[in-house]
Amino acid sequence: MLYVMIGTDAPDSLDTRLSVRAAHLARLQALQDAGRLLVAGPCPSIDSPDPGPAGFSGSIVIAEFDSLEAAERWFNDDVYVTKGVFSHISVKPFKKVLPT
């Protein structure tokens, strides 16, 4: 089943986000290589694809896992969680309707 994972950035976490980004992307790449990643990306804090020092308000990942517990475990092990980039996370089942 698909699960949506939402992380909300902690205040002043941009430097940490940038310093651990390569490890975060490597984990996402592994999901993509396994054919389990639907979409992933950050939410800019301002209306710009490159927010510069304004940074990001959070990130969204939608991927396939065997269970809610497996999705939660995967997200909790991400460096954005373990290094404090995210102040809050949420993992929920997701049903894709469109595009077909």
Predicted confidence (pLDDT) per residue in 39-92, tens digit: 999 999 999 999 999 999 999 999 999 999 999 999 999 999 999 999 999 999
The answer to whether residue 19 sits within a structural domain is: yes
CA dist., res. 89 & res. 69, Å (int): 14
What is the residue range of 31's domain?
A: 2-94
pTM value is 0.95
The residues with which 88 forms a beta bridge, in sequence order, are 8
CA dist., res. 26 & res. 72, Å (int): 18
The answer to whether residue 62 sits within a structural domain is: yes
At 10, phi and psi to the nearest 5? -75, 155
The answer to whether residue 100 sits within a structural domain is: no
